[in-house]
Amino acid sequence: MPASQPRSRARDRNNVLNRAEFLSLNQPLKGNQESRSSGRKQSGQAGAAGAQSTNPKERRQSQQLPEEDCMQLNPSFKGIAFNSLLAIDICMSKRLGVCANRASSWGGARSMINLLGITGHGIPWIAGTLICLVKSSTLAGQEVLMNLLLALLLDIMIVAGLQKLAKRKGPYDINPGLLDYLTMDTYAFPAGHASRVAMLSKFFLNHLVLAIPLRILLVLWALCVGLSRVMIGRHHITDVLSGFVFGYLQFRLVELIWMSSNTCQMLISIW
């Protein structure tokens, strides 16, 4: 028996699996898993202790982060299409803003373009309608002028309300003029001049007897006024297009609430 013990010890020393680099192969998996689970538990407890040690105000702020701060890794197709169209609109509007300032390529024509824009402003049209209403002596003329005055006032109020809701800035940092402040036309969307000229051109085409050349000139005038607002850098292309749409809708609204001749005469007598 004593001789067998040294032999077994020598056999264990010569065994390759008893070396240090192979000891892990002889260990049972259960002990290894227990050591790993205990390590995870210790790390979890340490993390929980660290989270408890943090300030509760910081935890509330981290939980109340706005959605804008989160990265959208999977944006929707509608979002991509909308952002692409918006980028194209801004790029094209800046390219067409050739009269945005004196240093622009068409800076010398800025005064003429501004004069074209004044022809579509609300204040001259309201003042001209009131003068024609005072000088008019026919019932039919007074009826048309009173409804035209109503359409102009509705246009100013509707456009001012929509601009206050949208609060979109123009492609260039251009301060509105005095007439723009009077009509509350201080933002870009929708374009007030575009809605007004679209409403006026449709109103005149429906209620005035005009020759074909005059009708064509009336439509061209409306288009040129809308284009002039983009050329001076005051509005985007989509602002002008949406202004045309709102102008047509305003005309349809005036047609629905058209005041009769008796109503117009009553309002004129009160005035």
Q: Tens of pLDDT along 51-84?
A: 454 455 555 555 554 444 444 555 677 778 878 8
Residue 236 has phi, psi (to 5 degrees) of -80, 170
Alpha-carbon Rg of the chain, whole angstroms?
A: 38
Which residues neighbour 170 within 8 Å (Cβ) at sequence distance 6 or greater? 188, 233, 234, 235, 236, 239
Indicate the average pLDDT of the chain: 79
Sign of CA dihedral 105, 111, 114, 119: negative
Q: Check residue 105 and give its pLDDT.
A: 79
Q: Give the Cα separation of 136 and 205 in Å (integer).
A: 20
Q: pLDDT value at position 22?
A: 47
Cite the DSSP H helix spans in 15-76: 23-26, 29-53, 56-63
Task: Return the pLDDT at 11.
Answer: 57
Residue 256, CA atoms < 13 Å, CB-side half-sphere: 6
- What would the pLDDT profile of 26-46 be if each residue is shown by its tens digit? 555 444 444 444 555 454 554
- Which pLDDT band, with edges at 50, 70 and 90, does 16 fall under? very low
Q: What is the pLDDT of residue 218?
A: 95
Residue 236 annotated as catalytic = no
Q: What is the pLDDT of residues 112-135, one digit of tens each?
A: 888 998 899 989 999 999 999 989
Q: What are the residues whose beta carbons fall under 8 Å from the beta carbon of 255, sequence distance 6 or more?
A: 206
Name the residue with higher pLDDT: 106 or 158. Answer: 158
